[in-house]
Structure 1
Amino acid sequence: MTVPPLPAPEFGEPYLLTPGPLTTAYSVKQAMLRDWGSWDDDFRAMTRALRNRLLAMIGDGAPDYDCVPIQGSGSYCVEAMLGSFVPRDGKVLVLANGAYGLRAAQTLDYLGRAYELLNKGDYLPPRGDEVARILANDPAITHVLAIHCETSSGILNPVEEIAGATQNAGRKLLIDSMSAFGALPLDPVALNCAAFVSSANKCIEGVPGFGFVIARKDEIANAKGNSHSLALDVHAQWATMEKTGQWRFTPPTHTVAAFLHALDLHEAEGGVPARGARYTHNRDVMVQGMRDLGFETLLADRWLSPIIVTFFCPADPNFTFQGFYDAMKGRGFIIYPGKLTVVDSFRIGCIGQMDEHVMRRVVDAAREALQDMNVSSAAPPAAALEERKKLAA
């Protein structure tokens, strides 16, 4: 099914070309117009439906796993997962190639958990053979944390390779699938994944307010007493929901209602395969158009995710990111600044209520923005291309 895009000018809203929050369907917004009582049986039924429907998305592994929603942003869920499932004497191998892997390492610093950091920089994914070598050399490592899609660069990491190396070494795998679950396949049984996390306002196209932890039931049971935090204790949240059907603290009722409707739209579109196909086509149309304008992607095609794409900023002295951002926003598109450590960049998201027709308008807006700024070439600095070539070799 082709999802009708939200006509931004009519509603006075720009398209959000970001990795979430993102542009949502008007009917998702409408679902938030009713107030819900957090202790009421109707809302308990909504929470139960939310958990069951998310578990249904992982297929045959659902009986061995459970879903625990957590109030807050995606980073709350990552911290909840690390603090609940990594015992205080555990050690985590953090696989980083951007801001979110590094944020996980910073979280472990706050938690007082030991970790080893494999930092691949901005351009490259961690590979299975690297993980295997590190685990072989450090028997103290109990867990491996992988980022499914690192949105600071737009790189899609090879979780299957990482999972294989982790399982062969007898360690436990944790996955941050914040920006991938719902559009990219994730089979926790095949990956032998102890737990993974995602968020309401990503590929399922809900609104911000909560995320969720999907974990093996035995891992949840064994997590009792591990957590450093009252509010981010996955076991305590799960135990309360199992006993009463309620969230321990005030739930984001309107966000839950919106999410359930977003799940309806997700299913109507054709689920994960169809959602992923639309996002992939969005990416391909947009990337080709931007390359035709002279822009260069940070990553080689094999590592480009269908979630968000990073482009080098042009070398032309008339180009400024702020000027480009303002020109794009004036045409109805909010883009994302870069998060690279080496070169200037910007990002364009491919997810949300958008299709190829919207992405063609994005390219047209970029062309007009360059003209407004008197930028004669969108080519990046030669040093940026040389750095990419050197690191990718």
Structure 2
Amino acid sequence: MSDKTSAVATSPSGDPWLLTPGPLTTSVTTKEAMLHDFGSRDKKFIEINRRVRSSLLNIINGQDDFVCVPLQGSGTFSVEAMLGTLVPRDGKLLILVNGAYGHRMAKICKYYNRANEIMEYPEDQPVSISDLDAKLNEDKDITHVAVIHCETTSGVLNPIAGVAEIVEKHGRSLLIDSMSAFGALPVDSTKIRYDAVAASSNKCLEGVPGMGFVLIRRSALEKAEGNAPSLVLDLYDQWVQMEKTDQWRFTPPTHCIVAFDQAIREFEEEGGVDGRGGRYASNCKILVDGMRALGFQTLLPDHLQAPIIVTFHKPTDPKFDFQDFYDRLAERGYLIYPGKLTVADSFRVGCIGRMGNDDIRDALVVIKETLNEMGVTNCASAAA
């Protein structure tokens, strides 16, 4: 690779910009919150934990009917806990799949020996509400339906409000994986009927990795005692313990939680879902417009694109090599994501994290310079 003559871009803390779906770039103040140690049974930490749980319920307008159960680990820990705790041993889960994370739910069900069936769609298409309606009408054994809010395999946005309407019509229970959308796209429990939504600290709420959480309808969780096949992933038991003592059953990720508390405070100061989602939507438009101006094609049409991560077709120009492209951008301070599709050769660029419009514009300048260095003159793809 050729030598780089221009400066390396860094975030305010001197780190590379993470143009990914998480972990992602966090604020300096969120990082600084982790510089202090807390005892897990200390009153101050207990109050922080209580505040985080309450704040998360506020995001869905769920204080009256829902409870927040946090859990150590990545977001997948919480998704697995949600399925294991809320789908009973004699239940049957219908999984709406249009990417890797729906397939991961099916894999969890196989480990837990939970009856399940998938309805699968191409990675560049949303799930079908009409198909769901017909399926629930036909199969009375289905007790629960699971859907991914934003499938980061492609960046496609699924119609969770429409899915919820059909599930409610048939009297079944809806479980939502909103991992990559929570905090940026609405999941208002007073407008969308569901029994649980899972998310994590290190996505659109801009905290650091280390914990997930499930917001669960209290009446659904109260019926879930004894369902979980795992001790550490038993959300019912975790909830009972927290309600009694305000403490975690096992050692909590204290530094992650205090950072999350700070990140949520900054989320609220930005205007909540409307403010955070608005910034991401603006980032997404600037990114898509800029990349199209360079000749790239997006996988998704604009009406299906969530403002979280954008999938671009790889150019057919023989001088474009993704690993070379990735490495050159990394040397300049920008980390992107490889593709994860079966339907197209692609790569992904995130719109989320502590980045503003000017940061996206700066990234586009570096992408253009990098293409010039590589000698890439045609960014069109075979899909064009």
Aligned match of 1:39 in 38, 41, 47?
41
CA distance in 1, matches of 2:220, 2:321: 49
1:365: how far off? 1.3
2:3 — aligned with what? Answer: none
CA distance in 2, matches of 1:353, 1:239: 35
What's the TM-score, normalizing by structure 2? 0.96
Output one character per residue of 1:85-112: Cα deviation in whole Å (capped at 9) or x when no partner.
0001111110111111111111111111
Given residue 267 of structure 1, which amino acid in structure 2 is its aligned partner?
A: E
Q: Is the 8 A contact 1:289 1:363 kept in 2?
A: yes
Q: Is the 8 A contact 1:127 1:161 kept in 2?
A: no
Secondary structure, counterpart of 1:257 in structure 2: helix
CA distance in 2, matches of 1:151, 1:288: 20
1:276 — aligned with what? Answer: 277
Q: Is the 8 A contact 1:126 1:158 kept in 2?
A: yes
2:17 — aligned with what? Answer: 15
1:165: how far off? 1.0
**Alignment of 1:364 onto 2:348:** no
1:188: how far off? 2.1
CA distance in 1, matches of 2:183, 2:361: 24
**Alignment of 1:85 onto 2:80:** no
1:71 — aligned with what? Answer: 72
1:10: how far off? 6.1
CA distance in 2, matches of 1:342, 1:185: 29
CA distance in 1, matches of 2:109, 2:192: 23
2:5 — aligned with what? Answer: none
1:250 — aligned with what? Answer: 251
Given residue 16 of structure 1, which amino acid in structure 2 is its aligned partner?
A: L
Q: Extract structure 1 runs of 4+ deviating beyond 6 A.
A: none
1:317: how far off? 1.2
1:13: how far off? 1.1
CA distance in 1, matches of 2:188, 2:374: 46
Given residue 377 of structure 2, which amino acid in structure 1 is its aligned partner?
A: S
List aligned pairs for 1:143-292, cutoff 5 A. 143-292=144-293
* Structure 2 residues without counterparts, runs of 5 or longer: 1-8
Given residue 37 of structure 1, which amino acid in structure 2 is its aligned partner?
A: G
Output one character per residue of 1:243-296: Cα deviation in whole Å (capped at 9) or x when no partner.
111100110000000000001111111111010000000000010000000000
CA distance in 2, matches of 1:233, 1:321: 42
Q: Is the 8 A contact 2:59 2:188 kept in 1?
A: no
Secondary structure, counterpart of 1:63 in structure 2: coil
1:342: how far off? 2.6
Q: Is the 8 A contact 2:149 2:178 kept in 1?
A: yes
Q: Is the 8 A contact 2:92 2:142 kept in 1?
A: yes
CA distance in 2, matches of 1:222, 1:320: 53
CA distance in 2, matches of 1:50, 1:208: 15
Given residue 226 of structure 2, which amino acid in structure 1 is its aligned partner?
A: G
What's the TM-score, normalizing by structure 1? 0.94
1:11: how far off? 3.8
1:44: how far off? 1.1
Given residue 288 of structure 2, which amino acid in structure 1 is its aligned partner?
A: V
Given residue 80 of structure 1, which amino acid in structure 2 is its aligned partner?
A: A
2:50 — aligned with what? Answer: 48
Q: Is the 8 A contact 1:58 1:187 kept in 2?
A: yes
CA distance in 1, matches of 2:188, 2:20: 26
1:388 — aligned with what? Answer: none
Output one character per residue of 1:131-179: Cα deviation in whole Å (capped at 9) or x when no partner.
1011111111111101000011001111011111111111110000011
